[in-house]
Amino acid sequence: MDTASQILDVAERLVQVRGFNGFSYADVASELGISKAGLHYHFASKAELGEALIARYAARFAEALNAIDERGGDATAKLDSYARIYAEVLRDRRMCLCGMLAAEYDTLPEPMRKAIVGFFDDNERWLAGVLVEGSDAGALELDGSAKDEAQTIVSGLEGALLVARPYGDVARFEATATRLLRSLARTAPSA
């Protein structure tokens, strides 16, 4: 593994555990046994490192969404797979990188802010497509527009992740995610 990838791995973990403002180049350099100058060679500034972190995280998330699409299945299965991405992050005792960064949004450089919003927009677009697919198939009943429902899902899962974290309880997150996603399931009309 090259040094830049190692730097990104350590910085990503630190952001997911401490937040962006909770670590320094000295923390990363110490963990990797390299100089701070060595870090600056790969990432001239912490803001540049932050942009690279978001870009890599968003690309991996997009790959995970593509894998869900490639596996196929109905919209409900795709939504369950989406929620499992979040659960796996929590199992690793971390938070969604962009969720952690969103908590520090006002203190971040503008390019990072735009990248965070872009990450959430991309997720909401993918979810809206799945929701339309499920609605068209008669499997999901949307209470509003697909876009509004997608925003609710992202917000609900990010919030559930945040609240489950201090409890160290993945089951708490999973129960909330299940209730949130099942609220979209079409129910049979009552007689």
Domains in the chain with CATH codes:
51-182 (1.10.357.10)
Give CA separation, 171 vs 17, 24, 97, 175, in Å: 19, 33, 20, 6
Does residue 67 contact residue 158 with C-beta atoms inside 8 Å?
no
- pTM score: 0.91
| pLDDT, position 184 | 83
Residue 187 has pLDDT above 70, yes or no: no
State pLDDT tens for residues 117-168: 999 999 999 999 999 999 999 999 998 899 999 999 999 999 999 999 999 9
Does residue 97 contact residue 57 with C-beta atoms inside 8 Å?
yes
| pLDDT, position 1 | 72
Three-state secondary-structure class, residue 168: coil
| pLDDT, position 186 | 62
Does residue 82 contact residue 68 with C-beta atoms inside 8 Å?
yes
State pLDDT tens for residues 18-27: 999 999 999 9
Q: How far apart are CA 135 and CA 31, in angstroms?
A: 49
Give residue 169's region: left, alpha or beta (phi > 0; psi -120 to 50): beta
| pLDDT, position 185 | 76
Which has more confidence, 143 or 51?
A: 51
Q: Report CA 3 to chain centroid distance, whole Å.
A: 25
